Chains A and B, each alone.
Chain A
Amino acid sequence: MIRELTCIVCPKGCQLKVELEGKNILSVSGYTCKRGLAYAETECTAPMRTLTTTAPVEGGGVVPVKTDKPVPKELLFKCMEVVNSACVAKDAKLGDVVVENILDTGANIVTTRNVQL
């Protein structure tokens, strides 16, 4: 089976073709960098995504956050539930950990700006 993918690693958006036999990857073509090849491989076995969202701040308001590495795609909505019930300190700085090792993925939820401007 041939699976066609659009690489999401960078804005170039290369069109990838992955030749599959069940779950085994026989060949990958269309990629123009190493990261594209790695993307094709994980996308066909265990797709991963970086989650970017906001988390509530103590006392009101929200602050932008992200997973500090990609998490399994099927866990995105579960991660959202965890993040939406978190509470970020008013004096949190960019990069502070909001949720450690979210859902045992090995990824932390970190803020992407200082709460105070």
Chain B
Amino acid sequence: MKADLVIIGGGPAGMSAAVAAYDAGIRDIIILERDKSLGGILRQCIHNGFGLHRFKEELTGPEYAYRYELQVRERNIPFKLNTMVLDITPSKVVTAMNSEDGLFTIEAKAIILAMGCRERPKGALNICGRRPAGIFTAGTAQKFVNMNGYMPGKKVVILGSGDIGLIMARRMTLEGAEVKAVCELMPYSGGLARNIEQCLNDFSIPLMLSHTVVEIHGKERVTGVTIAKVDERRKPIPKTKQYIECDTLLLSVGLLPENELTKSANIILDRITGGAVVDQNRQTEIEGIFACGNVLHVHDLVDYVSEEAEIAGKAAAAFINGKHANDKSLKLVTDGKVRYTVPQCITACADVTVYFRVADVYRDVRIVVRDGDKVLVNKKKQKVAPGEMETVTLTKEMIEGVSTDTLSFSIEA
């Protein structure tokens, strides 16, 4: 089989990229999705708050996904469901399988990686104790409750205050569980302020900052956890240990871009984002292979995923049509307070919005972009935090005028 464009993943990034590539004139597209329907993780995110930027109204996850599914269907863009991609090569051969076609390969002119991300599992946490039933990632619990209608437990402790953990604290409470506490290792929450308000405060669920779970109790089933306060170096303080009786521990301790396929094509990954290194078109170092959405870096809002996927879709179309300018070569470097940028490099003179995250909470600071000693951007911010992605837009004129080969991003007092 051959195709102009293969899109791996039928979630919000994959669907939005497909629509953008189609609207830029590409017809020979195929979306490969491993689940039984399009929509990706949005299918289980039944809460509202999606789409305020894109659609100027507040949608639930399934509604947001359906808007894009309709756009895919209206254009008759082909997709294969229940299809697992096993391998991609640097020469853009995609190997996949499903129960109808068996094992098959597609030679693609361009590939868009849109595989999304995965939750950091318990194995990555080094918590003492046995391995009883009752420990779930927040997303797994979300799938059980929202898709299957099963409650994973009755008395719950949540470790990590990422948005999925906060959302699940409310969801489990509404369904009759008692959520005893949300413990967060850091002195601040990684979740949105609105979610702390409407998911925890509304139900008087305590958020215990600078706390972690040090031991899980129970043999067959979780019977409780021991939590402790941590010091500035995030080491548990023994005398602050306390026992909380519970039958369920949910983990909301971070998301990791799912890049096994990217690695199989030998594409270089950014050590910080866990996603590919890309240019302003979201093209990886291999020409014709693009990445967008949470597989590239974890986003705060699906609206931004859709936006980024459109960039990748349009750029893939331009690449397939042989219209791909490379008239600049800039590396974006960071000072450590800015942890990473996406894109990591700029290869053409165009308006470019750079997305980045900071390493800590900083107040009354400036976001500064420099070309050597020359300041290009100097943007005041009352507060920046790791949980909130920041953006800076560089104009075509600014990029044209850059005299060195790097742009440095920093947070300054």
User: What residues make up the interface of A, taking CB atoms closer than 8 Å to B?
Assistant: 5-11, 13, 15, 49-54, 56, 61-62, 64, 66, 73, 76-77, 80, 94, 112-114, 117
Contact = CB atoms under 8 A, between A and B. Distances in A.
B86 interface: no
B49 A64 contact: no
Contacts of B196: 6
B198 interface: yes
Contact of A117 (B36, B48, B148, B194): B36
11 contacts: A6-B197, A11-B194, A13-B193, A49-B202, A50-B48, A51-B174, A52-B60, A54-B146, A62-B147, A64-B62, A80-B175
Interface string B92-121: 000000000000000000000000000000
B147 A7 contact: no
A80 B146 CA distance: 14
Contacts of A9: 194
A73 B194 contact: no
A11 B60 contact: no
A69 to B, nearest CB: 11
Nearest to B81: A117
B123 interface: no
Nearest to A11: B192
B37 interface: yes
Given A11-B300, A49-B202, A64 B146 contact: yes
A94 B149 contact: no
Given A62-B149, A94-B63, A6 B58 contact: no
B255 interface: no
B145 interface: yes
Given A8-B197, A117-B37, A56 B149 contact: yes
A9 B48 CA distance: 11
A77 B174 contact: yes
B46 interface: yes
B149 A61 contact: yes
A22 B202 CA distance: 21
A54 B46 contact: yes
B145 A64 contact: no
Contact of B194 (A7, A64, A77): A7
Contacts of B58: 50
A53 B147 CA distance: 11
Interface residues of B toward A: which range? 20 to 34
A10 B52 contact: yes
Contacts of B136: none
A85 to B, nearest CB: 13
Given A54-B149, A56-B149, 10 more contacts: A5-B197, A10-B49, A13-B194, A50-B58, A52-B46, A54-B46, A54-B146, A80-B175, A112-B46, A113-B62
A5 B198 CA distance: 11
Given A49-B202, A54-B146, A80-B174, A113 B192 contact: no
Nearest to B176: A80
B188 interface: no
Contacts of B48: 50, 52, 66
B130 interface: no
Contacts of B193: 6, 13, 15
Contacts of B194: 6-11, 13
Contacts of A8: 194, 197-198
Nearest 3 A/B pairs, CB to CB: A13-B193, A64-B46, A62-B149
A66 B46 CA distance: 9
Nearest to A62: B149
Contacts of A54: 46, 145-146, 149
A113 B175 contact: no
A112 B62 contact: yes
Interface in B43-70: 43, 46-49, 52, 58, 60, 62-63, 66
B127 interface: no
A13 B193 CA distance: 5
Interface hub of A10, A11, A54 (most chain B Cβ within 10 A) = A11
Contacts of B301: 11
Contact of A52 (B47, B66, B202, B300): B47
A21 to B, nearest CB: 23
